[in-house]
Amino acid sequence: MTSDIQVSTVIPAANRLGQVKEYYFSRKLREIAQLRASGADVLNLGIGSPDLPPHTAVIAQLQQTSSLHDHHGYQSYQGLPALRDAFADWYDRFFSVSLHAQTEVLPLIGSKEGIMHISMAFLNPGDEVLVPNPGYPTYRSATELAGGVTRNYDLKASNGWLPDLAGLGKQDLSKVKLMWINYPHMPTGTAATRSFFEELVQFATQHQILIINDNPYAFILNDEPLSIHSIPGARSVALELNSLSKAHNMAGWRVGALVGAADYLQIVLRFKSNMDSGMFKPLQLAAVTALQLPASWYEAQNAIYAKRKQKAVALLESLGCEISDGQVGMFVWGKVPDGVEDAYALSDQILAATHVFITPGGIFGSAGEQYLRVSLCSPVEVFEAAINRLANFKFSA
């Protein structure tokens, strides 16, 4: 039985929360849950949480090892040696990157947590951080929670959604310590090129900035997975986050890794080791199995995503959106038609009128305000149902 009694609280929030607000999707999922509780059949095309299952061998490994009585204790803060080996072998096979497994791989309880670990480990109050606009909102919130100062760098369609490094280099970057990048890029679906990474490493070396590439979408509808560590000299100025959430359908399992120079990882470990007590051993062993899957696993997943992408493009085009070619990753990014000044309002009207939720691009920054983002994490039948619902939708400015 729940209570409706209102309690007056006397302890205020910490100053460090500043302007950090509840995550947009946290609030939106609550709204969708309320609509569903009232009987509405809401089609959620917003969040990139894979609906497909992990490989059967991964689940079997978890089930088998979970039954062993000696697999339930605390684990190493650095993860099992077998897991570090598996991540290193995976990087070697698919990225042609050679890592020292025991010193240059740090398993994480999800790469999102790693964003916070990195921010807390390297930032002093007042340190500046270059954050992409549009980009993953957690880069900004983690910076602010750590006492850093965010500096947007705008990404534009006219520049292929890549940062203008020449323009940035003309600015005063003396207080900048970190730069977040995310290629393949979410939300725009832009894949980085090797030449861009080479320029970025030169830029970071010149300005003494630590680059962090958040790289969870490397295998989704992307024929050429690329790691920044494949670039000569990157190890001294870059770290890379990776994850089993997307390409292995293990978002709720919370398994990721930070890879890079041992000295950097030791700094992060100093913070991380005070925040958690290691990952569940059977989960780590299952992750080893996932990382050992052959290329055919990713090919099978992408065959499914390719069919969904066709439907997602059709859905956005039915709204008059413009979709650029060459997008990779788990989403489709579309520019709203002229005359729609507020994609938030468009998203809200679509939800209210049709019970279809599409993410407004403005949650990723001001450069996304004229865009919508559709997730590919729903079956083709759901996209077809959404397209039917939108057939008679008219936006009211």
Contact status, residue 268 vs residue 280, Cβ threshold 8 Å: no
Q: pTM of this prediction?
A: 0.92
| CA 114 – CA 258 distance, rounded (Å) | 7
Reduce the secondary structure of the chain to three states and give it as a string. CCCCCCCCCCCCCCHHHCCCCCCHHHHHHHHHHHHHHCCCCCEECCCCCCCCCCCHHHHHHHHHHHCCCCCCCCCCCCCCHHHHHHHHHHHHHHHCCCCCCCCCEEEECCHHHHHHHHHHHHCCCCCEEEEEECCCHHHHHHHHHCCCEEEEEECCHHHCCCCCHHHHHCCCCCCEEEEEECCCCCCCCCCCCHHHHHHHHHHHHHHCCEEEEECCCCCCCCCCCCCHHHCCCHHHCEEEEEECCCCCCCHHHCCEEEECCHHHHHHHHHHHCCCCCCCCHHHHHHHHHHHCCCHHHHHHHHHHHHHHHHHHHHHHHHCCCEECCCCCCCEEEEECCCCCCCHHHHHHHHHHHHCEECEEHHHHCHHHCCEEEEECCCCHHHHHHHHHHHCCCCCCC
pLDDT digits (tens, 9 = 90+) for 281-338: 999 999 999 999 999 999 999 999 999 999 999 999 999 999 999 999 999 999 999 8
Instruction: Say yes or no to pLDDT of 45 above 80.
Output: yes
Q: Does domain 20-49+296-390 have CATH number 3.10.580.10?
A: no
Instruction: Say yes or no to pLDDT of 168 above 90.
Output: yes
pLDDT digits (tens, 9 = 90+) for 182-230: 999 999 999 999 999 999 999 999 999 999 999 999 999 999 999 999 9
CATH level 3 topology of 70-293 = Aspartate Aminotransferase; domain 2 (3.40.640)
As beta bridge partners, residue 283 has none
pLDDT digits (tens, 9 = 90+) for 344-377: 889 999 999 999 999 999 999 999 999 999 999 9
The confidence band for 1, taking pLDDT boundaries of 50, 70 and 90, is very low
Give residue limits of the domains in the chain: 20-49+296-390, 70-293
Per-range mean pLDDT, top range of 38-52, 84-98, 328-342:
84-98
